[in-house]
Structure 1
Amino acid sequence: MRRYKGTIAVLAALTVTVALSGCGTTASDGVTLRLVAADYGSTDANTSRKYWNDLVREYEKKKPGVKIDVTVLSWKDVDREVAEMVERGEAPDMAQIGAYADYARDGKLYPVDNLVSVPTQANFLPLLRQAGEVDRLQYGMPFGASTRMLFFNEALFDKAGAEPPGDWSALQAAARKLKAKDVKYPFALPLGSEESQAETMMWLLGGGGGYRDSTGTAYQIDSPTNVETMTWLKDKLVGERLTGPVAPGELDRQEAFDAFVRGEVGMLNGHPTLMETAEKAGVKVGAVPLPGVDGRAKATLGVADWMMAFKQNGHRKEIGEFLDFVYSDKNVLEFSDRYDLLPVTVSARDAMEADTGHAALRPFLEQLDASELYPVGDTSWARVSESVKKNIGRAVAPDGDPRAVLEEIARDARAAEASAR
């Protein structure tokens, strides 16, 4: 979920590497598969290596001729590390990271329909299965998903006499009341370099626009609708000092989330993991669908991270059998439960919806099918995302020009598309 980076994941402070089984590329009695996976935990107590350790132990009992080496890296490092492995000609058999499209375009990945069983491929949620396609052929398998809602601190709202907002005018009115009660961040607006492509996309959707046009085939970053959205943010929130003491362009998402957990934020856009973390810290969290300019936003942001299989070492059959096991309901639900993420398969999603113990996640589940994801199947997206993260904070700065900044990002998008052809 880069997102969280990209997706919805929590950044680990340090890289954690662990070999869960085996130590080479070929076991004496069969095959050793190498998997590089992202760490969704924030401490050693909840690191993803524990999830993979349990899963691998069970699988190796079922398949004594196959060993699985898993290296778990922080989200801060995993995409770069995998890219460097591939560049050195040392691609792992599988990688569970934030993006797959560049590797697919370069012919380095197995197509999913040549890899896993038909029931496994057919069980991926349709929106996510389609998002894993390049030129209508699936290469990316979704692994963990999330959607976004607007979170608010119920205690701060009660103290300020504010109401949960249903549109931007109501959001501004609530932020004014929170500011009057000396709330440090009436609305936390993280447009710093960490994850601002996500925050930006949520606001663009709320304004009726987005990164892509209505056909999904071309970028529309500097559209009049998007310019109006960023101008509203600049004038109505940032300009009225309703976003707190840190300039949005200097505020990273994790800083905003940490402030929310400390009880210093009235409102922000968040994902399920943050909700649980805040409530464990004693913050009573309210949640509503993302507000838009004149009512509910046309869609919320959906985020998925990706599993992929590299061709370099062969092992197609063994990889496919292991991934069939990884995507069984039991394992998908175990991972989703552990990290408060949404299941990526139909059967696991249905099981979670039917379980009263997951009532808090139902609003996020209900949004997923109609959510809008990043254009991850476009090889240009990585460069466009970097341009957003680098530049978007300037659009809402006191001396910023929203139109000029969006035009600059749009030029970067066109250049990225041209080089990807």
Structure 2
Amino acid sequence: MMAVLGGCGITGGSDEVTLELVAADYGDTKANSSQNYWNELADAYEADHPDVHIDVTVYSWNDVDRKVREMVEAGEAPDMAQIGAYSDYAAKNLLYRADDVLSIPVQADFVSQLAAAGQVNGVQYGMPFAASTRVLFYNKTLFAEAGLTPPKSWDDLAEAAEALKAEGVKYPYALPLGPEEAPAETMQWMLSGGGGYTDTVGTYAIDSPQNVATFTWLKDELVGKDLTGPVAPGKLNRADAFAAFANGDVGMLNGHPSLMKIASKKGVEYGMVPTPGIDGESQNTLGVTDWMTAFRKNGHQEQIGDFLDFVYSDENVLDFSRQYDLLPVTSSASEVMSAAAEDKDLRPFLDELLSSELYPVGKSTWASVSAEVKKRIGQAVAPGGSPSGLLGELQTTAVRAESGE
């Protein structure tokens, strides 16, 4: 269905309300498009709420954030948007607080790390919608041929990559620092080296000694020794790295749950282990969540809240998570999934979620900082590149954004 852009959202009789939802597509074909999921959900809700109509428009992840931004700038904000960021809208007082729209039991059921990441100055505006974590995937066949066991530390990973290269493996370790999802691979490596985008009090620390050491190691020990494949990391996108893994051309890479299905379809035997860290298994891993937001403009607070309580029921959260190999964002659905035999493949990711760290999405500057990381981080490990110099430039960009320059 096309979105209703009229602004008021009222149709039919005076008691009828149309809620407009813009959402992201998690499918990779028309057959499994998220449009189908939302249409079924809307039909089920409308059957019990004849005075409320749900109009859903689904866009690809390449377009959805931009589409919503354009709608907001045109004064035509949707009632709800399921997108990648929320804090810039919250900073402009465009969003309902989570406790304005959700019932207490629903809001209290969010996984604690995800709920905390949805807060600005201690107030939750971003409602987590879908989550994932990262683990290290490895090709069991290639490892067996090279006589390898899964790595636990950076040194193990480098030694394994050397052995895989000697066996003629095209990408011993795939390092996707291309623009598609560079912030994720970057943060995964930062965390494994004891750093991150921010320090313990939430201040940007992109050029911390730990992060500089991490990217210096990557440049010298992996990229510089030709262990990351024929495509420069700054030009390698995650989707291409996943496809190469599914084709049997990658020995190791960081991956999220969807890679299981991609690899299985191609008959690749894979294993999964926690992310290697500088001195053993990484103490922290990357968690990612996407956000449901509720815009104030059309004033449908009560109807939005009732519909979102329905969206976040266990049945619907589990249905969405299972359709798209994602992790539930509520504790009750997570408990169901952790005990269900049909979800056993997702358990390693569920276990990681409890110790995961998320992007600093509560910062209204994160969207612009993330965009710079996408554009530039690959230069840090390129021949002639300077990890300390490039990370220092990104830090300067972040500090200026924070100060409003």
TM-score when scaled to structure 2? Answer: 0.97
1:207–1:293 CA contact under 8 A, matched in 2? yes
| Distance in 1 (alpha carbons) for counterparts of 2:289 and 2:380 | 27
Q: Paired residue for 2:146?
A: 160
1:419 partner SS: coil
Instruction: Tell me which of 28, 39, 64 is aligned to 2:12.
Output: 28
Q: Paired residue for 1:334?
A: 319
Q: Paired residue for 1:287?
A: 272
| Distance in 2 (alpha carbons) for counterparts of 1:352 and 1:261 | 26
Q: CA deviation at 1:153?
A: 0.7
Instruction: Tell me which of 41, 45, 60 is aligned to 2:31.
Output: 45
Q: CA deviation at 1:25?
A: 2.3
| Distance in 2 (alpha carbons) for counterparts of 1:242 and 1:49 | 40
1:20–1:68 CA contact under 8 A, matched in 2? no
1:253 aligns with 2:238: yes
What whole-Å deviation, never above 9, does each CA across 1:148-199 have from its counterpart, x for those lacking one? Answer: 0000011111111121000001001111111111111000001111111110
1:372 aligns with 2:357: yes
- Paired residues for 1:190-339 under 5 Å: 190-215=176-201, 217-339=202-324
Q: Paired residue for 1:8?
A: none
| Distance in 1 (alpha carbons) for counterparts of 2:87 and 2:333 | 26
Q: Paired residue for 1:87?
A: 73
| Distance in 1 (alpha carbons) for counterparts of 2:219 and 2:172 | 15
Q: Which amino acid aligns with 1:107?
A: N
2:335 partner SS: helix
1:367 partner SS: helix
| Distance in 1 (alpha carbons) for counterparts of 2:165 and 2:45 | 54
| Distance in 1 (alpha carbons) for counterparts of 2:73 and 2:200 | 36
Structure 2: gaps of 5 or more residues: none
2:5–2:76 CA contact under 8 A, matched in 1? no
Q: Which amino acid aligns with 1:385?
A: S
Q: Which one is further off, 328-337 or 258-267?
A: 258-267
Instruction: Tell me which of 358, 368, 389 is aligned to 1:404.
Output: 389
Q: Paired residue for 2:171?
A: 185
| Distance in 2 (alpha carbons) for counterparts of 1:224 and 1:136 | 29
In 2 relative to 1, CA 246–397 (structure 1 residues): closer, same or farther, beyond 3 Å? same
Q: Which amino acid aligns with 1:70?
A: V
Q: CA deviation at 1:28?
A: 1.3
Q: Which amino acid aligns with 2:115?
A: R
2:82 partner SS: strand
Q: Paired residue for 2:118?
A: 132
Q: Which amino acid aligns with 2:391?
A: L
Q: Which amino acid aligns with 1:31?
A: V
| Distance in 2 (alpha carbons) for counterparts of 1:94 and 1:213 | 32
| Distance in 1 (alpha carbons) for counterparts of 2:373 and 2:53 | 41
| Distance in 1 (alpha carbons) for counterparts of 2:99 and 2:208 | 38
1:142 partner SS: strand
Number of aligned residues? 402
Q: Paired residue for 1:63?
A: 49
1:94–1:307 CA contact under 8 A, matched in 2? yes
Cα RMSD (Å) of the superposition?
1.4
Q: Paired residue for 1:382?
A: 367
| Distance in 1 (alpha carbons) for counterparts of 2:319 and 2:328 | 9
Q: Which one is further off, 356-365 or 24-33?
A: 24-33
Q: Which one is further off, 152-161 or 96-105?
A: 152-161
2:177 partner SS: coil
| Distance in 2 (alpha carbons) for counterparts of 1:198 and 1:315 | 35
Q: CA deviation at 1:22?
A: 12
Structure 1: gaps of 5 or more residues: 1-17
TM-score when scaled to structure 1? Answer: 0.94
| Distance in 2 (alpha carbons) for counterparts of 1:27 and 1:284 | 53
Q: Which amino acid aligns with 1:98?
A: G
Q: Paired residue for 1:7?
A: none
Q: CA deviation at 1:258?
A: 1.0
In 2 relative to 1, CA 76–69 (structure 1 residues): closer, same or farther, beyond 3 Å? same
Q: Which amino acid aligns with 1:274?
A: L
- Paired residues for 1:93-172 under 5 Å: 93-172=79-158
In 2 relative to 1, CA 197–142 (structure 1 residues): closer, same or farther, beyond 3 Å? same
| Distance in 2 (alpha carbons) for counterparts of 1:20 and 1:163 | 52
What whole-Å deviation, never above 9, does each CA across 1:238-272 have from its counterpart, x for those lacking one? Answer: 01100000011111111111111111111000000
Q: Which amino acid aligns with 1:168?
A: W
Q: CA deviation at 1:20?
A: 8.9
1:238–1:396 CA contact under 8 A, matched in 2? yes
1:64 partner SS: coil
Q: Paired residue for 2:403?
A: 418
